Structure 1
Amino acid sequence: MADTDTGAGYAALESLAALDDRVVPFTVPDLDVRGRVVRLGSSIDTILARHDYPEPVARVLGEAAALTVLLGTALKFEGRFQLQTKSDGAISMMVVDFNAPDSFRAVAHIDEAKLADAVAAGSLSTGDLLGEGHLAMTVDQGSATTRYQGVVALNRQSLEEAAHQYFRQSEQIPSRIRLGVGSIVGPGGSRHWRAGGLLVQFMPHSVDRLRAADMHPGDAPEGHEILTNTDPDGISDDAWAEARSLVETVEDHELLDPLLESERLLYRLFHERGARVFEPTLVHEACRCSRERVLGMLRGFSGEDRKAMVADDGTLGVTCEFCSRRYVFAATEVEDGLAGE
């Protein structure tokens, strides 16, 4: 997937900020599909600017955030949805947490030497920067329930392709996803990041319409042509073929343009069929860290490890890798209540 910078203008971004950081659910009954459109503005800009990621890394993390928000807003309960990658590429790890119903955070770990090599070689696609490893998607409803996790292999493919693989093997729902990341140049040449995404899923009322492609007929007379279903989702349905083809026409700038509302994009795609949109979900960037959580984490370490963390002034300092907030504790405060260890 090619990322593009949008030149729509910073003034337009400010005036239409109310259209950003929201997810619009929709259905197209005539095609038996449902989906969501996400536009991330100030939320993703805050995350990427806070860490001052190199541009190639910012683009990939922006994609991961858009994908996570698309999937996380589908949760119908209080809980968490997490996307995590671990691989041998220049981006060695990414974590995006969505805390239902409406907040998310994200962070990336970079192998600086590999990133320099990738930049020198011009190998800056998402697949190149992630390399080989795995992508895990985890649904956590809390301590009272068992976590669900789906894992797919990363083999230098895009996040879109990895998500399609996840849905085929874990959810078994024919799905198509488009992701886009770009930026708008503001006053003084400052860059303001944006991200967008579109998810469409085939959900027919009839189970028969999800029937898999016909099996190979086995032995056939020599020279006889065997027709096979080449649908990437393994199903043959005209409605899904139409919906999938329409999604694949969506370009990055349509997902990012602050002058193009999500509803208008859906009209462009499905006006002949009629899309129904529902109340949007507003999302925002927020970290889950707190002084109490960090103190609990420190008390979870062994006494030997805690002693090794004490600075010369008798304090222990921890910086949240997501939001960069710094927490400082007196060693006696951490040890309080652990005298019996």
Structure 2
Amino acid sequence: MKQTYILTSLLCLTTLLMPGCTSPIGSGDDSSSSTLAINFGTPQADTRAAVNSSADMGEFSVWGWYGKDDTNSYNVFDNETVSRSDNSWDYTGGTRYWIPGYEYNFYGVYPVKIGSCTANGLITVNNFDCSNFGENAVDLMTATANRTLSNPIQDDESSAVAMEFKHTLTRIVFSAKLANGLDNGYSLQVNEIALWASNIGTMTQDMSQPDSQPVWITEPYLHDGDDEGDINEEYNAYLYRLTTADGALQSAPPTGDAVLLNLTEKGDLLVIPQKMSETRPVLAINYTLSYGGSTTSSIWKVYPLKGNIDWTPGASLNYTFTIDEDNAYFNISVGDWIDGNSGNEDVEFN
């Protein structure tokens, strides 16, 4: 699995002269702070649901502790909101200052004011709701950083703390094509794609572990005895319903190679990572075929996903439908969060 992350040098440090200041804010009982402050800016609205770069992040929450001998003795950030304006950032609760020689551990969550974090870096997000898609979808990312400044601080030490925000959800896109060998006179119209799956889950992530991964707990959508084959009759049970009518999907893929159906922003689909054998999601496509001036009635094809590729954190899955005269089938490819970026979206905040 390719891990997607957004690299943010989010803690921009600037030298502030503060005559008479002898104690840092949020630094416990240690008064040997420097005059090097952690500094940010003012908020800016998020621009889309699925975050592809730091430009899509308006604000996030941060926790931080510092101490010595691998002990986080003092809290310096406690679920503070960090907001972006242009290339500067600001946080709530007053200015904090570095204490040279102490080890600092920072933990971040996007979006703001959800979840909790302990001093040893255990992030918990309870009952995260992934039921919305398109413009109303909400991305969920976590980050951590560790930093110690020399005592005294050296002139050549970097003034930035780099945090890597990693996606904890799974991104799903859909593609469609006509089967090879069909006459050139055929055309395909995709009307909608439906997906039934667990859409609320609880996530924990131990950020103290190297290359830590989110762990999700969610309830099965289908239980023992439920029949996946009848699910298409329960039209009111749609959990995700992307249609051409509401602009979430491209309606008529051209012939030839498979074409992405999801439209930018309106077609964003972010789901709770889950094991297909446990939650038993179901996928369906509705389409029509035209040939020689005749068009079929709407055709539904329903696919139980039990036994298929699991949805894992940070992965982007492309379900590609191939349509022929009598049937439709799909295959799944695992790719980058954004095409061509090898799973990484790196942006420096200065």
In terms of fraction of residues, the more strand-rich structure is 2
Per the normalisation by structure 1, the TM-score is 0.32
Larger radius of gyration: 2
Per the normalisation by structure 2, the TM-score is 0.31
In terms of fraction of residues, the more helix-rich structure is 1
